[in-house]
Every structure is written in C-alpha cells, then in structure tokens.
Amino acid sequence: MMNQEKLHLINKIFNDETIRTVWDSDKEDYYFSVVDVIGALTESKIPKRYWTDLKRKLESEGSQLYENIVQLKLKSFKDGKSYLTDVLDTKGIFRLIESIPSPKAEPFKIWLANLGSERVDEAFNPEIAINRAVNYYNALC
C-alpha cells in the first residue's frame, strides 16, 4: 500500500482526528504521536498525563510495547515549535489501542480481533488467503 493511502486509511480509522505522523522511508512505515492517539480515543482532558500513567503501568507489566517507543521531533499544535514526542509505528499503535480501556477504542479492538481470526482461518485453509488476495488485487485494478 502506498504511504499516502496508508495515511488516509489511518486518518479514517481515527475519524479524521488530527494525529501527527512521521514517515520513515527506511522502514517504510509511519510513526504516530502516542499522545494524539490517546487524545482521540479517551475522554482525558490531559492525554499527556494519561500516557504517563499508562506508560508506567505497561513498564511494570513488562509490556514489549514500552520498549518500542521512539522519540521524534513533532510540531506542537500550541506553539508550532518541534519537540521530542513519544511515537510508535503502525504495529505499536495498534498494540497501544489494545491497552486503552475506552468505548472509542472498542471498535478498533473488535476490528483487530476479526483480522486475527481471519488470519487463523487462512492458516488452516490457504484457499481463503488466495481468494482474499485475488479480491484485493481485482479491487485495485
């Protein structure tokens, strides 16, 4: 999937909330602002504090997600200056969403569970995977 299409899909997933992103051309993946995602999915008035508390909890639980956090400079919405900000790649953001107890996060969790279930079905019946790939290819043409 081209990087612009991927970004468009992610924006749709977050109901067009503003999520700051950075494209890593070496890894061919986006990095997403953790605080922006938390702000979009929770009712927290201070998403940064929510993230601080969640990060502490994840670290104490030995979550691998904590080890995947990267800090990149992103422009602040408030003053337009760039600051080091905690970010996660696409896989990490989905793992983060799994950790957020919020009604807004539930549709993501259901979607991820359905994807996982589909992949398990495909592992036991490769014809399903082939049909999915053919249908996806035909939709692109």
Q: Six-digit token pair at 124?
A: 């036991």
Residue ranges making up the domain that contains 115? 105-141
For a pLDDT cut of 70, what percent of the chain falls above it? Answer: 89
Max CA separation in the chain (angstroms): 53
pLDDT of residue 1: 46
Residue 123 and residue 68 share a domain: no
Structural domains of the chain, count: 2
Residue 51 pLDDT greater than 90, yes or no: yes
Q: Which of 11, 31, 33 lies closest to 23 in space, CA to CA?
A: 31
Would you say the C-alpha torsion 92, 95, 101, 105 has a positive or negative sign? positive
The answer to whether 47 and 60 are in contact (CB under 8 A) is: no
Pair 16, 79 in one domain: yes
Whether residue 60 is found in the same domain as residue 78: yes
109 lies in the same domain as 47: no
Once rounded to an integer, what is the mean pLDDT over residues 49-72? 90
Residues 45 and 96 in one domain: yes
- Number of DSSP helices (H) and strands (E) in the chain, helices first: 7, 4
In single-letter form, the type of residue at position 130 comes to I
Element (H, E) at 71: strand 70-75
Measured CA distances, 26 to 23, 46, 51 (Å): 9, 33, 27
Average pLDDT over residues 75-80: 88
pLDDT of residue 50 exceeding 70 = yes
Domain identity same for 90 and 129 = no
pLDDT (0 to 100) of residue 87: 96
For the whole model, what pTM was predicted? 0.76
What's the average model confidence in pLDDT over 45-66? 90
- pLDDT tens-digit series, residues 82-116: 999 999 998 899 899 989 988 888 888 888 888 88
Give the model's pLDDT for residue 133. 85
